[in-house]
Structure 1
Amino acid sequence: MDLEILLYDGFDELDAIGPYEVLRNGAQEGADLSTRLVTLEPREAVTASHGLRVGVDGTLGSPEVVLVPGGGWGDRAAASAWAEYDRGAIPEALADLHGRGATVATVCTGGMLAAGAGILDGRPATTHHVAHDDLREVAEFVDARVADDGDVITCGGVTSGLDLAFHFLAREFGEELRDRVARRMEYDPSEDVYLG
């Protein structure tokens, strides 16, 4: 299974790096999963919201799963999920991928980029608390750490991305593998998951 994490300037570090580590550990434990860090346009690196520069593996392809981090929604910064929502290129790419059958997973206010793509319309979803009201305008807001509606998986803010990644491992590769990764990382995944 191919999974790509779509980065942009201003993404929250933990929103992307947390799930990345969980998923890469899953592959080391036997999951048939390839995880890459990508951008929409060719570039060597992106700068996250707290200044971390992250190298990328290439540009967005046609993965089976695309994961989108959030960051900066409440600040309305020039480099943020808010700015990417306003620009529209990421929501457009998500709509295209989802329309071709990809699963879209979002962490934190990355969910608002999926909302901008129209793929959360009327569906159960969650996001960081700063965007709850915005999300309620288009989706069926769910008060849970993770909301799984099949081909769309969303989660709350920041650390919820870890729980989304662990849930994804269990869903796709089994609870035993998820538990091995949790032991390896010394993390107790939340069971606060809404299944649509």
Structure 2
Amino acid sequence: MKIAFVLFHHVTALDFVGVYDPVTRLKTMNVIPDLEWDICAFTEEIVDGTGLQFTPTRVRESLDQYDLVIVPGGFGTRTLRNDAPFIEWLKTAKNCKMKASVCTGSLLLGAAGFLEGKSATTHPNAFLELQTYCTVLSERIVDEGDIITAGGVSSSIDLGLYLCEKLADFDAKEKIRVQMDYQNV
């Protein structure tokens, strides 16, 4: 199993780290020993809104080699959803088995055409923007099978644990949740 975490300038760090931590524990806790992941970006430099820097492991490489592509949110999504070269790059994930987003990452999934005919969620402040692409639900997590979206930034850990159950099973998710000392699932 290969996972791509898609990062971009002005990403919200917790949107990324909140889902990254539980999902990567699938490997570090030996639930899915052959799990692999990359930090993928369209640019070599990634800086969140506060100056925190991330270093991508793959830059502008096609996303078609991944089983799961995870897109966090952040203020950068507002401009990127209209950035044709970025969206064309994101579209290379078209044939991936599953795509997931946190917060306004769903705007990028929508701009890439992945939400057509589906329901999704995002941060409540972005519901109107998301309505351009799909039916918007005010839920913590919306699972459409191959597309899973999560609400605002604090839902990133919820999404990570949800994906752990989907990729492994309930017992694995619970083992990871307990190890994280996370009570709110």
Q: TM-score, structure 2 length as denominator?
A: 0.90
Superposition deviation, residue 145 in structure 1: 0.7
The match for 2:68 among 48, 65, 70 is 65
How is 1:34-183 mapped onto 2 (pairs within 5 angstroms)? 34-41=36-43, 43=44, 45-59=45-59, 60=61, 61=63, 62-72=65-75, 80-98=76-94, 100-183=95-178
- Give the letter for the 2:73 counterpart: G
Post-superposition, which runs of at least 4 consecutive aligned residues in structure 1 deviate over 6 A? none
Once the two structures are superposed, residues 32-70 of structure 1 have per-residue CA deviations (whole angstroms, 9 ceiling, x without a partner) of 2222211124x2x41012211112222344211111111
Gap regions ≥5 residues in structure 1: 73-79, 191-196
Whole-angstrom distance in 1 between the partners of 2:140 and 2:85: 27
Q: TM-score, structure 1 length as denominator?
A: 0.86
Once the two structures are superposed, residues 110-168 of structure 1 have per-residue CA deviations (whole angstroms, 9 ceiling, x without a partner) of 10001101111220100011110111232121121111111111110111111111101
After superposition, the Cα gap between the structure-2 partners of 1:26 and 1:188, relative to the gap in structure 1 and judged at 3 Å, is: farther
After superposition, the Cα gap between the structure-2 partners of 1:89 and 1:160, relative to the gap in structure 1 and judged at 3 Å, is: farther
**Secondary structure at the counterpart of residue 163 of structure 2:** helix
After superposition, the Cα gap between the structure-2 partners of 1:68 and 1:142, relative to the gap in structure 1 and judged at 3 Å, is: same
1:194 maps to none
Q: Percent identity?
A: 26
After superposition, the Cα gap between the structure-2 partners of 1:39 and 1:153, relative to the gap in structure 1 and judged at 3 Å, is: same
Q: Structure 1 stretch 89-98 or stretch 102-111: which is displaced more?
A: 89-98
Superposition deviation, residue 189 in structure 1: 4.5
Contact 2:66 2:96 in 1 (8 A): no
Once the two structures are superposed, residues 76-112 of structure 1 have per-residue CA deviations (whole angstroms, 9 ceiling, x without a partner) of xxxx1111112133332333312x2341111110100
